[in-house]
Amino acid sequence: MQDVTTDRICQLKINFSILLYPFNFDCIIDKEMNAKPKFRKEETNGFYHELKAEVTDLVNELDSETDHLPAIKMFILGACYIGACIMINTSADTIAELYMSYAVAGLLMVLLVLNVVHEASHNTLFKKTLYNQIAIWWLELFGTDSTLYKKRHIVYHHTYPNVSKFDADLSQNSLVRVIPHDEYKKHHRFQPLYLPFLYLLFSLNWFLVRDFNDFFTSAEKFGLKKSKLLKLLIQKVLVICVWIIMPYLLSDLPLWMFITGFIIYHVSASILAVVAVGCAHVNEDAEFPVPDKNNRLKDTWAVHQLKTTQDFATDNPLVNVSFGGFNFHVAHHLFPNLPSRHYEKVTRVIREKAFKYGLEYKYKPMLQALVSHFRLIISNSTPIPQPDM
């Protein structure tokens, strides 16, 4: 009886989330996560063993350097984000100013996630753990939850990137088919038309649906207490008050304009977030490994990271600074406990070792990576041809 009730709750959550966005931490993940796939054992003198030894020596030489950039970035981006919020509440006299402030605030939110939150979640932004714990609390100010983010991103995504039903950052429902071997449904033929519009709801879905979906489907596995749900509700109510209710009470403009502004806030955030995720993992060259009948993956963990991850625009100084090293994604996945300031030099070693062992290091300029992403979406809008029997 309990399983039936749980299934019904999960189905209700999924049906609601379909209205907002295709990528959700689905109930099926929670049910099947007990049977985690196994990687091949790393070879004693293989690719990763040699790579790790050389990177360790390199980092030991570099770690004596003092890096104040993370604190500077957090201060500047945080001040601008708070400034945009203050302007919305007090100084936006015209509709253009109001909507521009919302749009800029949305971009700043994602830049804070890329430059501060993401690295702090790996405990690599600052040397002191306490400072990282403080930095990741930006997520609470955004109305989401740092514990959920860390569980979803570090425990599942970093272990099983691009593995269907196990990569929590890529998990999806049947509305969209990003992973080629997922079940094909008739409506997928239209996904090149509707998916770009759904992408614009990525951030709003996270705020309204995904956190609650995670809580109701995976609270026990994530080790979440019931009080976490109350905390989530309070945070989201406060965010709505700060970004919609308070500006409305302090202005002569109608309420619908602030609701529209809040949607613009999330749309601008979604565009930047989808660019980052789509360029790094979801493209034509990425592999989407499937466990065999014994629930084993064909590669070692390190080779799996190489095959499922791609760098983008690493020769673009503007992207390097604004994305906080996120575009050096191969180095990040192979060495998630390294600060991003080392990624550029570590990437040179990765490319050298990959070439030596006959492995492919994947890289594209940003525009090519985006084009490749949408080509994959188009390709997955048709069923995989079945071999003749």
Asked whether the predicted pLDDT for residue 67 surpasses 80, the reply is no
DSSP string, 12-72: HHHHHHHTT-SB---HHHHHHTTS--EEEPPPTTSHHHHHHHHHHHHHHHHTTS---HHHH
**DSSP 8-state secondary structure symbol assigned to residue 229:** H
The percent of residues above 70 in pLDDT, for the chain, comes to 86
Is 323's pLDDT higher than 70? yes
Domains in the chain: boundaries? 67-379
Pair of tokens at residue 320: 């390097």
pLDDT digits (tens, 9 = 90+) for 246-264: 999 998 899 999 999 999 9
**Residues 41-51, buried b or exposed e (16+ Cβ, 10 A)?**
eeeeeebbeeb
Q: 174 falls in which pLDDT band (50, 70, 90)?
A: confident
Relative orientation angle of helices 95-112 and 69-90, to the nearest 10 degrees: 150
Cα(37)–Cα(294) distance, integer angstroms = 9
3-state SS assignment for residue 381: coil
pLDDT value at position 22?
36
Radius of gyration of the chain (CA): 21
Residue 101 has pLDDT above 80, yes or no: yes
Q: Please, which contacts does 101-105 make with residues 24 or more away whose CB atoms are closer than 8 Å?
A: 101/261, 102/243, 102/261, 102/262, 102/264, 102/265, 102/268, 103/264, 103/265, 103/267, 103/268, 104/80, 104/268, 105/81, 105/265
The count of C-alpha atoms lying within 13 angstroms of the C-alpha of 97, restricted to the half-sphere facing its C-beta, is 11
pLDDT of 2-42, one tens digit each? 443 344 334 333 333 333 333 343 433 444 445 788 998 88
Tell me which of 170-179, 297-306, 358-367 is least confident. 170-179
Section 218-224 average pLDDT: 61
Confidence of residue 331 (pLDDT cuts 50, 70, 90): very high
pTM: 0.85
Q: How far apart are CA 202 and CA 107, in angstroms?
A: 13
